Structure 1
Amino acid sequence: MSQPTQQNELLAEREALPPTPAAGVEDVIEAKGLSQGQIVRKRFFGHTGALVGLVAFFAILLLAFTSVGWGPIPGWWRYSHVDVTPLVNDGAPTMSLAPLQFGEHPFGQDRIGRDLFAMTMRGAQQSITVMLIIGLIAGLIGVVVGSLAGYFRGWVEAVLMRLTDVVIIIPALLLAAVMSQLAGRRDSGSWFASFAADNGVVVLGVFLGFVVWVGLARLVRGEFLTLREREFVDAARISGASNLRIIFKHILPNAVGVVIVNVTLTMSAAILLETALSYLGVGVKAPDTSLGLLISQNQEAFSTRPWLFWWPGLFIVLICLSINFIGDGLRDAFDPRQKKFNAKKAKARVSRR
């Protein structure tokens, strides 16, 4: 008689526990009464890494574009990236933490007396500009090509994928070298040379954007091949929706997680690509500067004047990490299939038992 008694006691204890929501029901309850935009914002601002990346990126963006100015807008820093001044403290950084002070040249100076803080901020401007242009162009082309190829299949897919294969095998470095040589001929009289001489960063960003979209196109095509067979797509076809509406209103929002993650990865890789091209001498050219060009120019001073190398490298790492964190948070916010484990809520449910 003891065993049935114990079973009855266990059943009584289980009935006394509060009901535990099924998997996925808790998120639905929390999102009840919220619009899609409010749900996305709530998920994004609940992502700690995304917030840290967002704050870091906007801090770098604000510092870079306000300190040395941008275009006709003047900056608050006293030097520009081309000003040459007498060496202070033998070119070493004048910034110190104890006591806290910045001094005349907080990041130091190069051999001829140019302020490294101004050069680093100018380089960050150029790198961020290239990154945004590449992300916009590559994201747009990759999404359009991948969605059309994955949805229509047949000859449309064959033509677009063969075009993608052709772009993949073209070496970006070789094309960048050719573009750099054409842009460097200021006296050639061509419109491209005259435009590139004054807008070298824009030309570099547009060129790279038309080269690096192929990976995103293949991933979007794979997502569309899966999503085009779902029931909601069949329902949209039956209701009379056009192909473009099905692609951009029904399928693409469900693939937005893949798109956002890969666009942000492309943007962070774009900085490294621009750095590599400038390091090899086919990217941004003097008298302008970029983070990659600063590393290239100061690589020989790594053992004697390491601050000339570390500051541009630090900003490259910070920009890339912040973009990746932002992309991770956007993926979790837009993709309904992503569910983040909440340790506090799990502990609360265990304690209630």
Structure 2
Amino acid sequence: MTLGATEASPPDGGLPAEHIAETAEAKQIEGRSLGQIAWARLRKDKIALISAIVIVLIILIAICAPLIVKISGFPPDQPNFKDSNGNDLLDSSLGGIPAGGLFGSGMSSEHWLGVEPQNGRDVFARLVYGARSSLLVALGGTVVAVVLGTVMGMVAGYFRGWVDALISRLMDILLSFPTLLFILALTPVIADRAQDTFGIPDNNTLRMGVLIFVLGFFGWAYLARIVRGQTLSIREREFIDAARSLGAGPGYVIFKQILPNLIPTLLVYSTLIIPTYITAEAALSFLGVGVKEPTSSWGRMISDASNWYEGNPLYLFFPGAMLFITVLAFNLLGDSVRDALDPRAGRS
């Protein structure tokens, strides 16, 4: 009887179905790296895939802006007062607003999103080139903040002592600054100083460089504090002790042993800080200390639209919608990356 019962018993030993499913899932991810597991989770996340597609499309639009504008036929800084048939695009009797077109904004087969009042510049071309300004400043500022924050945080967490105390006090000082007010005050000052001291003309290349530097300089302290805390934990692990016992110096341990373990944190932080810098660039351009005319920027377009939106809200809608979609896509992707890289995150 005992033998018969043994032969009749199920091959799983009577384990519940949930345990069997967990065991099968564990076998599927056995031997895979954290990056492979995170990628598998991201592929199952529809929100992450949609956000990534939107971000890639916006980046491609920014990269291919000259080609796209060439197809549309109107440069972003070119005034347009007449269409191809010689008809007036702007009504001078009404203060230079578009003379007709879809929704009264000059939208037509030639000007797909209409033209701006008073100067007739093509809205679509300026919207496409505005993506370049916003993404360039945001990505550049993110690179500066991540590099500074990572290096300073690892150095403070690894060496500790007076080095840690000095860097930590510097982080506390930077975190206590009202960042937006300092950026508003410093950006024109730095641009003027560079022009007077080094003879660099105050053009938009200089303005973008100053924005990238100031945003990155005031943004690295928060990441450095996170990196410092993780470095303090990582430096006490066995593989760090093994590297030291084999004669590895501080530089090798920091950049070859500690840094690879910080990559998930840096990825998550980068995807979350990029939309912050996009909105910061738009706010600074709106307030007049960002990029200057005639270079296009979403913030500059919103600032210009504030003079016309009562007559036609479409001028405010188009740059606002692009800004909203871009920031939302980066935020959703950042949340998904964070969940995918966290082993304790629930799986959908």
Name the counterpart of 2:337: 330
- What is the Cα deviation at residue 268 of structure 1? 1.0
- What is the Cα deviation at residue 311 of structure 1? 0.9
Distance in 2 (CA, whole Å) between partners of 1:184 and 1:105 is 37
8 Å CA contact 2:65–2:129 kept in 1: the answer is no
In the alignment, structure 1 residue 282 sits paired with structure 2 residue 289: yes
Root mean square deviation, CA, Å = 3.4
Distance in 1 (CA, whole Å) between partners of 2:154 and 2:187 is 30
Distance 1:143 1:26, change over 3 A: farther
Distance 1:83 1:90, change over 3 A: same
Name the counterpart of 2:48: 50
Name the counterpart of 2:219: 212
In the alignment, structure 1 residue 318 sits paired with structure 2 residue 325: yes
Distance 1:153 1:93, change over 3 A: farther
Distance 1:162 1:35, change over 3 A: closer
The CA deviation string for residues 157-212 of structure 1, in whole angstroms up to 9 with x for no partner, is 011112223333444433443432553689x5543632755443233212321221
Residue 212 of structure 1: SS of its match in structure 2? helix
Name the counterpart of 1:85: 80
Distance in 2 (CA, whole Å) between partners of 1:108 and 1:238 is 68
Name the counterpart of 2:85: none
User: What TM-score, normalized by structure 2, do the two folds share?
Assistant: 0.79
Name the counterpart of 1:117: 124
Distance in 1 (CA, whole Å) between partners of 2:305 and 2:173 is 37
Structure 2 matches for 1:1-353, cutoff 5 A? 15-17=13-15, 20-21=18-19, 26-32=24-30, 34=32, 38-69=36-67, 75-86=70-81, 87=89, 90=98, 94=102, 103-112=109-118, 113-172=120-179, 173-183=181-191, 190-191=197-198, 193-194=200-201, 196=203, 198-333=205-340, 335=341, 337-342=343-348
User: What TM-score, normalized by structure 1, do the two folds share?
Assistant: 0.78
- What is the Cα deviation at residue 284 of structure 1? 1.1
8 Å CA contact 1:141–1:213 kept in 2: the answer is yes
Relative to structure 2, which stretch is displaced further, 288-297 or 255-264?
Answer: 255-264
Q: Which amino acid aligns with 2:29?
A: A
Name the counterpart of 2:84: none
Distance in 2 (CA, whole Å) between partners of 1:25 and 1:196 is 62
The CA deviation string for residues 51-79 of structure 1, in whole angstroms up to 9 with x for no partner, is 11110011112223324459xxx743211
Relative to structure 2, which stretch is displaced further, 157-166 or 32-41?
Answer: 32-41
8 Å CA contact 2:61–2:131 kept in 1: the answer is no
Residue 300 of structure 1: SS of its match in structure 2? coil
- What is the Cα deviation at residue 279 of structure 1? 1.4
Q: Which amino acid aligns with 1:180?
A: P
8 Å CA contact 1:93–1:105 kept in 2: the answer is no
Relative to structure 2, which stretch is displaced further, 172-181 or 320-329?
Answer: 172-181
8 Å CA contact 2:98–2:116 kept in 1: the answer is no
Gaps of 5+ in 1: 1-7, 96-100, 343-353
Distance in 2 (CA, whole Å) between partners of 1:222 and 1:302 is 48
Name the counterpart of 1:3: none
Paired residues in the alignment total 323
Q: Which amino acid aligns with 1:105?
A: H
8 Å CA contact 2:204–2:291 kept in 1: the answer is no
Distance in 1 (CA, whole Å) between partners of 2:186 and 2:261 is 40
Q: Which amino acid aligns with 2:127?
A: T
- What is the Cα deviation at residue 33 of structure 1? 5.5
Q: Which amino acid aligns with 1:179?
A: T
Distance 1:233 1:181, change over 3 A: closer
Distance in 2 (CA, whole Å) between partners of 1:58 and 1:209 is 23
8 Å CA contact 2:223–2:269 kept in 1: the answer is yes
- What is the Cα deviation at residue 30 of structure 1? 1.4
